[in-house]
Amino acid sequence: MTMKREITVTVNGKQHHSSVEPRLLLVHYLRDVLDLTGTHIGCDTSQCGACTVLLNGESVKSCTVLAVQADGSEVTTIEGLAPEGSLHPIQEGFWEKHGLQCGFCTPGMIMASYQLLKDNPNPTEEEIRKGLEGNICRCTGYQNIVRAVQYAAEQMRTGAAEPVGAGE
Amino acid sequence: MGIAAMLGSPIKRREDPRLITGHAEYVDDIKLTGMLHMAVLRSPYGHARINNINTEAARNQPGVVAVYTAEDLKGAVGDIAVAVPLGQMTEGMGIRKPLAEGKVRFFGDPVAVVIAEDRYTARDARDLIEVDYEPLPAAIDVEKAMQADAPLLYEQFGTNVAFSMHPPTEDIDKVFEQTKADGGVVVKERIVNQRLAPVPMETRGVVAEYHKAHKALTIWSSSQIPHLLRNILAATVGLPQHQVRVIVPEVGGGFGCKLNVYPEEIVAAFASMRTGHPVKWIEDRSENLAATIHGRDQVDYIEVAATKDGKVTGLKIHGISDLGAYSQLFTDVIMIAFGFPVSCGAYDIPNIYLSGDIVFTNKVPTDAYRGAGRPEATFIAERAIDLVARELGKDPAEVRRLNFIQPDQFPYKSAAGAVYDTGNYEAALDKALEIADYKSLRAEQAHRRASGDGKLMGIGISSYIEICGFGPKGTAPVGLYESARMRIEQSGTVMVYTGSSPHGQGEETTFAQIVAEEFGIPIENVLIMHGDTDSTPEGRGTYGSRTTAVGGSAVYTAAQRLKEKMKQIAAHMLEASASDVTMEDDKFSVAGSPQKSVSFAEIALAANLSNTLPAGIEPGLETTVFWEPEACVFPFGTHICVVEVDKDTGEAEITRFIAVDDCGRQLNPMIVQGQVHGGIAQGVGQAMFEGVVYGEDGQLLTGTLLDYAMPIASELPSFELDHTVTLTPVNPLGVKGVGEAGTIGSTPAVANAIADALGVAHVDMPFKPENLWKVIHQS
């Protein structure tokens, strides 16, 4: 058994001190140690993006980050995107526009959309499709995901709600 | 929106809040006290003899609880279930043990499992198992596997062919000769439907928990078939059915690949029974690509005969279905039972000849993948029509129109065997042509060709039909009914327990719409429960686009039965005769006196609480319905695809995709459109990008999502959708089914567009740049 390492990570605003194996993946840390199972594992090789979370405000694929690399960082997962009982405009968009079916890729898709809209608050359809290239959905054909992001962009532009997240 | 407008409205899905907030519970989210983790050691060879397995080092690893091989399973668990064994399979050919015994027959074949305290330890220990393999030549190409000198998967049978049907050809030969004598044409082609991986975003997974004291096994599995899994698993591990409970939690997509009982489900159950601990196994993506069933993989030799006007007189198909190494539940019958009966497609083809071979190869088993047999059959029919059009120099839209089964011909018995319920194929074609502005597209194409444009423009049409809503009595080894248990509580809440098992299709919403509409109550007062075999009545599961047609009809019928009972109670409360009671919205009143009424809520309360119900009326409002269809349903539509192929690079781009689908009555158009979008994406995926590739030695070359190319957002256009509505008399809702339509209809539309762009008779999929570049630069 490898020697464990102490880490401190703030996840969704809450600080956690943990003792982890150096090889533990951030996604396993979130899911298995912190019980934040909203972040999913879809491919193991960083193609599908189901595990996307925000690390210090930037989206990362948490299957390709070690938990020890997140030491001292702030992480936002799907559970922390909006305060309990409310929805972030991106979440609203996915619901309004039927941007999900089985829902497995959805948390990662929403977190990737967050980054996309942070970088480009007024994206064209082409820019949305390009911006979500790192996330695979097998159910929707992406058309309603594009609409969901457009809906969220509109909501966020009109200031109906501000994005919530670590490092903001 | 009024309550009465519930059915047919694009109501937002009630499933979504838990899914968009990360609070849904998939199987990997389940944690139980004392839970152990299973890792599976798989064959690194396509075909090899197992001389010895040494598990000692793995067993001695700290944290390892057990290691099992086929030796440990002997006498304790049965073989993998096959629904309808054909030919040599009845003698044991292709019948699979949960862990490989004596030989491994495909890359990824499970050989041993490690049960350990955590998943990292289980994997570490898996790497310590030593297997002495003697590699054997592999049978990979299905046509080579049929030859006399091919390596044999099952030596004792002397062949890899499990079953053949080659009826005499005299009759069809006469038709073809006569057609030629009359000045008609005969066109031949070899058509390949390449092997695909279903790739639901959630891989397979299972948690098995055995309670020794109760001798009761609970299985959480990412499955499309809770009851079938319960029944088959109980038989396989030797427990009475009532001691096995299956719970299907949230499922992250299935597409047919979770319509099976897999070795890992059985071995995890066995491991829990042996260790007394809950055991979890979650497939990783490489395992998913290597060991979860694949789809398609069929080679067809076709000949089509047509008059000089383009009327098809006969179609000859010889199909070869690549089964892979073993038979799973439906592996052997996909082509013969689900493909062949719809080989004539939407066309009134008077003569058809169907022959086939089903063949074992050293690859993972094939089985149902979105469409299952129907995409292959449709691909042939749609390509055949285009081959005739090309040969005769006619417009493919007009050749379709000439051959369509006409609306007054229904119910229509096809020469291929299926009896079609209803259809109006020309209306869907016309609508799609209009949306596409087909004439202008053809004019643009002619202009661009004449001007030597570097982009080759192609237009492809596919007027598909499909068969779904399985299935009528006597058509399968077991009844393919669906069920609904409905209870109206004293609060007025309607609890519906469905035997169907949705996994992304949104039936918690559409089924609730049916109930809300029937009772005139708010949809919030309806709860749809599914997936737990302890609370839901026996059902057959969600696959084959059958859930709304069959499961929805069970829900509808249950509502009618309770409505009748409510009328009796209303009659008592209104001091009238039940036959005089009518219902409007949620009010029951005597016909002609609407001012005096009792509400749904008042009757619910009275039925559950009153002790003054008249004699003959049982308290409570609860019923269970098993609804079995009398016939199948046949959705249809026309898809049109426009492509541009770069002459210099071979790169193809879909510039437009138009889909006009007819799935009968639409209960929730938003959900229908979502199904069509996703279906088209998967059909386009087959045409443009996807394909499982094995090396000649049996190595899997598409073992991660880096190598297996699924469509991403930037590779797909925005689809242009419309629909027609042709009701079916087969079920009380008038619904057909839409889960697979997009996949079935879209692939041939793309293939026809590519052949049109390149000006050739046929190009095999996937249409990757290198493949198209070769075709362009050969001609």
Tens-digit pLDDT profile for residues A77-135: 999 999 999 999 999 999 999 999 999 999 999 999 999 999 999 999 999 999 999 99
Token pair listed for B414: 């096809």
* Domain range summary for chain B, segments of one domain joined by +: 3-22+472-627, 31-136+201-253+258-291, 295-468+632-778
Residues of chain A contacting residue B659, judged by C-beta atoms under 8 Å apart = none
CA–CA gap between residue B26 and residue A103 (Å, rounded): 10
Tens-digit pLDDT profile for residues B383-402: 999 999 999 999 999 999 99
Whether A1 shows a pLDDT value over 80: the answer reads no
Closest CB from A130, A137, A143 relative to B201: A137
The size of the A-B interface in CB pairs under 8 A is 176
Q: Which of A60, A80, A100 delimits the end of a domain?
A: A80
Residues of chain A contacting residue B25, judged by C-beta atoms under 8 Å apart = 37
CATH of the domain spanning B31-136+201-253+258-291, picked from 1.20.1630.10, 3.30.70.600, 3.90.1170.50, 3.20.20.70: 3.90.1170.50
Residue A55 within a domain: yes
**What's domain B295-468+632-778's architecture?**
2-Layer Sandwich (3.30)
Whether A73 shows a pLDDT value over 80: the answer reads yes
Residues of chain A contacting residue B711, judged by C-beta atoms under 8 Å apart = 141
Closest by alpha carbon to B343, among B422, B414, B411? B414
* Interface check A116 vs B, CB under 8 A: no
Percent of chain A whose predicted confidence (pLDDT) is above 90: 90
CA–CA gap between residue B144 and residue B155 (Å, rounded): 16
- The answer on A148 and A113 residing in a single domain is yes
Determine, for residues B704 and A40 on separate chains, whether the beta-carbon distance falls below 8 Å. no
- Provide the domain limits for residue A55: 5-80
* Interface check A63 vs B, CB under 8 A: no
Residues of chain B contacting residue A41, judged by C-beta atoms under 8 Å apart = 28
Rounded to a whole number of angstroms, the distance from the CA of B463 to the nearest CA of chain A is 21
Determine, for residues A44 and B284 on separate chains, whether the beta-carbon distance falls below 8 Å. yes
Half-sphere exposure of B9 (CA within 13 A, CB side): 17
Residue A166 within a domain: no
Determine, for residues A141 and B286 on separate chains, whether the beta-carbon distance falls below 8 Å. no
Q: Please state the domain count of chain A.
A: 2
Rounded to a whole number of angstroms, the distance from the CA of A140 to the nearest CA of chain B is 4
Rounded to a whole number of angstroms, the distance from the CA of A122 to the nearest CA of chain B is 17
Could you tell me which CATH number the domain at B3-22+472-627 has? 3.30.365.10
How do B455-465 and B636-646 pair as beta strands?
antiparallel
Start-to-end Cα distance in chain B: 60
Mean pLDDT of chain B: 97
Residues of chain B contacting residue A77, judged by C-beta atoms under 8 Å apart = 22
Determine, for residues A128 and B284 on separate chains, whether the beta-carbon distance falls below 8 Å. no
Determine, for residues B253 and A106 on separate chains, whether the beta-carbon distance falls below 8 Å. no
CA–CA gap between residue B261 and residue B226 (Å, rounded): 10
pLDDT at B473: 83
Q: Is the dihedral of CA B628, B630, B631, B636 positive or negative?
A: negative
Whether A165 shows a pLDDT value over 60: the answer reads no
User: Which one of B12, B14, B15, B21 makes the best mutation probe of the A interface by having the most chain A beta carbons within 10 Å?
Assistant: B21
Which residues in chain B show pLDDT less than 70?
Answer: 1-4, 779
Residues of chain B contacting residue A95, judged by C-beta atoms under 8 Å apart = 12-13, 16-17, 20
Closest by alpha carbon to B280, among B453, B502, B122, B62? B122
* Interface check B709 vs A, CB under 8 A: no
Residue A70 within a domain: yes
Whether A168 shows a pLDDT value over 70: the answer reads no
Determine, for residues A104 and B704 on separate chains, whether the beta-carbon distance falls below 8 Å. no
Determine, for residues A136 and B710 on separate chains, whether the beta-carbon distance falls below 8 Å. yes
* Interface check A165 vs B, CB under 8 A: no
Q: Residues 6 or more apart from A78 whose CB is under 8 A from it?
A: A38, A39, A53, A107, A110, A111, B20, B21, B22
pLDDT at A166: 36
Q: Which of A80, A110, A136 delimits the end of a domain?
A: A80
pLDDT at A90: 98
B3-22+472-627 and B295-468+632-778 have identical folds: yes
Determine, for residues B285 and A144 on separate chains, whether the beta-carbon distance falls below 8 Å. no
pLDDT at B779: 62
